[in-house]
């Protein structure tokens, strides 16, 4: 019996939350634990933060380069978030999907809605809530990568983002990090196992049924 688990349809796993709720930390751990999962590295007009690595965390570009990407239809989705532009480059996503690979997105609710509309079968949307807005502020301050006015703007936008959590397939609160990580990993594993994504099952089933016992 073959161990080949291809062909399969990849998952587009979208993780969104208000800034500071913990999605980047959760996504980094999911990537570290799952070699086959590919991160969609977004393009952004935001400036680089201390500790960030260009082309690993984001492709940091000028507003002109970003506009060129829009004109060339080079984004699967893009949006204005907290006064900057962010977009998911289309080419690496198309390549991953053609190879049956899974792609992880750390994007906002606007991008999640666009991908869900364009790829309704493949998109899985997860929204992460903070334990409280007070804790959200504490995390943003502790992360100490943004200026105070940038933090205030993100907190002011948080309620507007939380309003959209009902559009998502899965929602949970990131209180205890390890428990939240387990929840995200479970969602990913369950979605990977869905029959329609595992196209190889049909051939496997046929070979089981053809077996002489
Ligand atoms: N629509 C969309 N949103 C993105 C993209 N990349 C990042 N974002 C979102 O933009 C927001 C700001 O991201 P960032 O500047 O890294 O700040 P952080 O969330 O505080 O770490 C977050 O909600 C991200 O998920 C993208 O390609 N498309
Ligand atoms: N469950 C948690 N409990 C306490 N701190 C957390 C938790 N999850 C993330 N953090 C911390 O909160 C800050 C914001 O997390 P981050 O992953 O950057 O959020 P986001 O990408 O949603 O803006 C980071 O300093 C991170 O280490």
**Ligand 1 in contact with 104 (CB < 6 A)?**
no
Tokens 């000028």 belong to residue:
62
CB of 172 closer than 8 Å to CB of 180: yes
Look at residue 140 and tell me if it is in a domain.
Answer: yes
Q: What residue numbers does the annotated binding site cover?
A: 17-24
Atom of ligand 2 nearest to the CA of 17: 22
Residue of minimum CA distance from atom 7 in ligand 1: 107
Residue of minimum CA distance from atom 21 in ligand 1: 19
Look at residue 141 and tell me if it is in a domain.
Answer: yes
Q: What is the structure's pLDDT at 146? A: 82
Q: What is the structure's pLDDT at 2? A: 66
| Tens digit of pLDDT at every position of the chain (213 positions) | 667 889 999 999 999 999 999 999 999 999 999 999 999 999 999 999 988 999 999 999 999 999 999 999 999 999 999 899 999 999 999 999 999 999 999 999 999 999 999 999 999 999 999 999 999 999 999 988 888 998 998 999 999 999 999 999 999 999 999 999 999 999 999 999 999 999 999 999 999 999 999
Query: Residues lining ligand 2, judged by CB closer than 6 Å?
Result: 17, 19-25, 139, 142-143, 174, 177, 180
Look at residue 85 and tell me if it is in a domain.
Answer: no
**Ligand 1 in contact with 161 (CB < 6 A)?**
no
Give the count of domains, the chain. Answer: 1
Look at residue 92 and tell me if it is in a domain.
Answer: no
* pTM of the predicted model as reported, rounded to 2 decimal places: 0.96
Residue numbers of the domain that contains 177? 12-40+101-209
Longest CA–CA separation in the chain, Å: 71
Look at residue 73 and tell me if it is in a domain.
Answer: no
Look at residue 23 and tell me if it is in a domain.
Answer: yes
* CATH code of the domain covering residue 105: 3.40.50.300
Please report which ligand is nearest the Cα atom of 139.
Answer: 2
Beta strands in 2-152 (DSSP E): 12-16, 37-39, 42-44, 58-60, 75-81, 84-89, 102-106, 123-129
Atom of ligand 2 nearest to the CA of 177: 1
Q: What is the structure's pLDDT at 4? A: 80
Q: Across the chain, how many H-helices and E-strands are there?
A: 8, 9
Q: What residue numbers does the annotated binding site for ATP cover?
A: 17-24
**Ligand 1 in contact with 107 (CB < 6 A)?**
yes
Look at residue 46 and tell me if it is in a domain.
Answer: no
CA atoms within 13 A of residue 165's CA, in its CB half-sphere? 14
CB of 209 closer than 8 Å to CB of 1: no
Q: How far is the CA of 161 from the centre of ligand 1 (A)?
A: 12
Ligand 1 pocket test: which of 111, 117, 118, 139 has the largest number of ligand atoms within 8 Å of its C-beta? 111
Q: How far is the CA of 186 from the centre of ligand 2 (A)?
A: 20
Q: What is the structure's pLDDT at 168? A: 98
């Amino acid at each position: 019996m073959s161990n080949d688990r291809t062909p399969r349809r990849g998952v587009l796993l979208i993780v969104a939350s208000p800034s500071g709720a913990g999605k980047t930390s959760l996504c980094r751990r999911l990537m570290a634990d799952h070699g086959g999962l590919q991160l969609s590295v977004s393009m952004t007009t935001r400036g680089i933060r201390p500790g960030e690595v260009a082309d690993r965390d984001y492709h940091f570009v000028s507003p002109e380069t970003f506009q060129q990407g829009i004109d060339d239809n080079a984004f699967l989705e893009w949006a204005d978030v907290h006064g900057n532009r962010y977009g998911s480059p289309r080419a690496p996503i198309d390549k991953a999907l053609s190879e049956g690979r899974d792609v992880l997105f750390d994007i906002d609710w606007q991008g999640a809605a666009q991908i869900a509309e364009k790829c309704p079968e493949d998109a899985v949307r997860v929204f992460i809530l903070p334990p409280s807005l007070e804790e959200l502020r504490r995390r943003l301050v502790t992360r100490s990568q943004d200026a105070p006015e940038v933090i205030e703007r993100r907190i002011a936008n948080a309620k507007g983002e939380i309003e959209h959590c009902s559009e998502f397939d899965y929602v949970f609160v990131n209180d205890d990090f390890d428990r939240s990580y387990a929840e995200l990993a479970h969602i990913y594993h369950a979605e990977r196992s869905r029959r329609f994504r595992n196209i190889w099952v049909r051939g496997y089933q046929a070979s089981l049924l053809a077996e002489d016992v």
